[in-house]
Amino acid sequence: MSTTTLTETTPGTETGAGTARGGPSLLKQAARQLPEALRKLDPRHVVRSPVMFLVWLGSVVTTIAALADPDVFTISLAVWLWLTVIFGNLAEAVAEGRGKAQAASLRATRTDTRARLLDEHGAETLVPGTQLAVGDLVVVEAGEVIPGDGDVVEGIASVDESAITGESAPVIREAGGDRSSVTGGTKVLSDRIVVRITAASGETFLDKMIALVEGTSRRKTPNEIALSILLVSLTLVFLIAVATLAPMATYAGAPQELVVLVALLVCLIPTTIGALLSAIGIAGMDRLVRVNVLAMSGRAVEAAGDVSTLLLDKTGTITYGNRQATAFIAAPGVDDERMRDAARLSSLADQTPEGRSIVELALERGASDADLPTGADFIEFTAQTRMSGVDLADGTRIRKGAGSAVSAWLGQTPSDDVTDTINAIARGGGTPLVIAEQDAAGHGTVLGVVQLKDVVKPGMADRFAELRAMGIRTVMVTGDNELTARAISKEAGVDDFLAEATPEDKLAYIRKEQRGGHLVAMTGDGTNDAPALAAADVGVAMNSGTAAAKEAGNMVDLDSDPTKLIDVVEIGKQLLITRGALTTFSIANDVAKYFAIIPAMFVAAYPSLEALNVMGLATAESAILSAVIFNALIIVALIPLALRGVRFRAASATAVLRRNLTIFGLGGLVVPFIGIKLIDLLVSTIPGIG
Q: What is the DSSP string of 264-312?
A: HHHHHS-HHHHHHHHHHHHHHHHHHHHTTEEES-HHHHHHHHT--EEEE
Reduced to 3 states (helix: H, G, I; strand: E, B; else coil), residue 176 is coil
**Phi, psi dihedral angles at 606 (to 5 degrees):** -130, 85
Per-residue pLDDT band for 236 (boundaries 50, 70, 90) equals very high
pLDDT above 70 (res 643) = yes
Asked if residue 76 has pLDDT above 80, the reply is yes
Average pLDDT over residues 229-253: 87
Compute CA 115 distance to the chain's CA centroid, rounded to the nearest angstrom: 32
Give the pairing of strands 293-295 and 444-453.
unpaired
Q: Is 381 one of the annotated binding-site residues?
A: yes
Q: Is residue 383 marked as binding?
A: yes
pLDDT at 1: 33
The amino acid sitting at 502 is T
CA 509 centroid distance within chain: 22
Segment among 303-312, 406-415, 583-592, 652-661 with least mean pLDDT: 652-661
The identity of residue 213, as a single letter, is V
Q: Cβ neighbours of residue 285 under 8 Å, at least 6 residues apart? A: 99, 212, 213, 215, 218, 295, 298, 301
pLDDT at 124: 86
- Virtual torsion, Cα 414, 415, 416, 417, nearest 10 deg: -100
Residue 391 in marked binding region: no
- pLDDT surpasses 80 at 167: no
Query: In what helix (H) or strand (E) does residue 401 lie, and over which residues does it extend?
Result: strand 397-401
Sorted by sequence, the CB contacts under 8 Å of residue 322 that are 6+ apart come out as 353, 454
Name the most confidently modeled range: 14-18, 144-148, 675-679.
Answer: 675-679
Distances from the Cα of 211 to the Cα of 288, 453, 458, 678, angstroms: 15, 42, 36, 44
Distance CA 38, CA 57 (A): 16
The pLDDT tens digits for 587-640 are 888 888 888 888 877 777 778 877 877 888 888 888 889 999 999 999 999 998
Mean pLDDT of the chain, nearest integer: 82
pLDDT (0 to 100) of residue 75: 94
284-293 pLDDT tens trace: 877 887 787 8
* pLDDT reading at 23 higher than 50: no
CA atoms within 13 A on the CB side of 59: 19
Q: Work out the pLDDT band at 99, boundaries 50, 70, 90.
A: low
Residue 555, strand partner residues: 295, 540
User: Tell me, what's the pLDDT at 139?
Assistant: 92
Percentage of the chain beyond pLDDT 90 is 17
**How confident is the model over 579-585, as a mean pLDDT?**
89
Banded pLDDT at 11 (limits 50, 70, 90): very low
The pLDDT of residue 602: 79
Q: Which amino acid is at 565?
A: L
Residue 522 annotated as binding site: no
**Known binder of ligand: residue 382?**
yes
Q: Residue 197 pLDDT > 60, yes or no? A: yes
pLDDT surpasses 60 at 525: yes
Helix (H, G, I), strand (E, B) or coil at 240: helix
* 387 assigned ligand-binding residue: yes
Residue whose C-alpha is closest to residue 296's, from 206, 209, 199, 214: 209
Strand duo 181-182 + 124-128: pairing: unpaired
pLDDT score, position 63:
95
- Side-chain half-sphere exposure of 606, counting CA atoms within 13 A: 15
CA–CA distance, 73 with 64 (Å, rounded to integer): 14
Q: CA 564 to CA 205: how far, in whole Å?
A: 20
Which residue in the list 313, 341, 557, 559 is annotated as catalytic?
313
Among 6-15, 17-26, 64-73, 161-170, top mean pLDDT goes to 64-73
pTM of the model: 0.67
**Whether 164 contacts 102, CB under 8 Å:** no
User: In the prediction, which pLDDT does 102 show?
Assistant: 61
Dihedral pair phi/psi, residue 150, rounded to 5°: -175, -175
What pLDDT is stored for residue 450 in this prediction? Answer: 92
Tell whether the model's pLDDT for residue 64 goes beyond 90.
Answer: yes
| Strand order across the beta sheet in which 377-379 lies | 324-330, 444-453, 431-438, 397-401, 387-391, 377-379
User: Is the pLDDT higher at 537 or at 299?
Assistant: 537
- For the stretch 485-492, contacts whose Cβ atoms lie closer than 8 Å and that sit 24 or more positions apart, written own/partner, are 485/314, 487/426, 487/427, 487/428, 487/429, 488/314, 488/318, 488/319, 488/429, 488/454, 488/456, 491/429, 491/456, 491/461, 492/318, 492/319, 492/456, 492/460, 492/461, 492/464
- Does 608 carry a binding-site annotation? no
Query: Please, which residues have CB within 8 angstroms of residue 202's CB and are 6 or more apart in sequence?
Result: none
Reported as a single tens digit per residue, the pLDDT across 546-580 is 777 888 888 888 777 777 877 888 888 888 888 88
Where does 161-290 show beta strands of DSSP type E? 171-174, 181-182, 187-188, 192-197
Q: Is 233 annotated as a binding residue?
A: no
Q: How far apart are CA 562 and CA 567, in angstroms?
A: 10
| Confidence at 7, pLDDT banded by 50, 70, 90 | very low
Q: Summarize the confidence of residues 253-276 as an average pLDDT.
A: 88
Collect all residues with Cβ–Cβ distance below 8 Å to 657 and sequence separation of at least 6: none
Angle at 595 between CA 593 and CA 598, to 5 degrees: 90
Q: Is 286 annotated as belonging to a binding site?
A: no
- CB distance 544 to 560 below 8 Å: yes
The DSSP element (H or E) to which 455 belongs, if any, is: none
pLDDT of residue 17: 39
Q: What is the mean pLDDT of residues 261-282?
A: 88
- Mean pLDDT is lowest, of 59-63, 314-318, 660-664, 673-677, for 314-318
pLDDT in the model for residue 321: 67
> Catalytic residue at 313?
yes
Nearest to 273, CA basis, from 6, 11, 634, 640? 634
Mean pLDDT, residues 153-158: 88
Which of the given ranges, 280-284, 362-366, 480-484, has the highest pLDDT on average?
A: 362-366
400 is in an annotated binding site: yes
Nearest to 5 by CA among 658, 579, 473, 668: 658
**204 vs 619: which has the higher pLDDT:** 619
Report the share of the chain in percent with pLDDT over 70. Answer: 89
The mean pLDDT of 520-539, rounded to a whole number, is 84
Lowest mean pLDDT among 200-204, 343-347, 605-609: 200-204
DSSP calls for 512-575 = HHHHTT--EEEEE-SGGGHHHHHHSSEEEEETTS-HHHHHH-SEEETT--GGGHHHHHHHHHHH
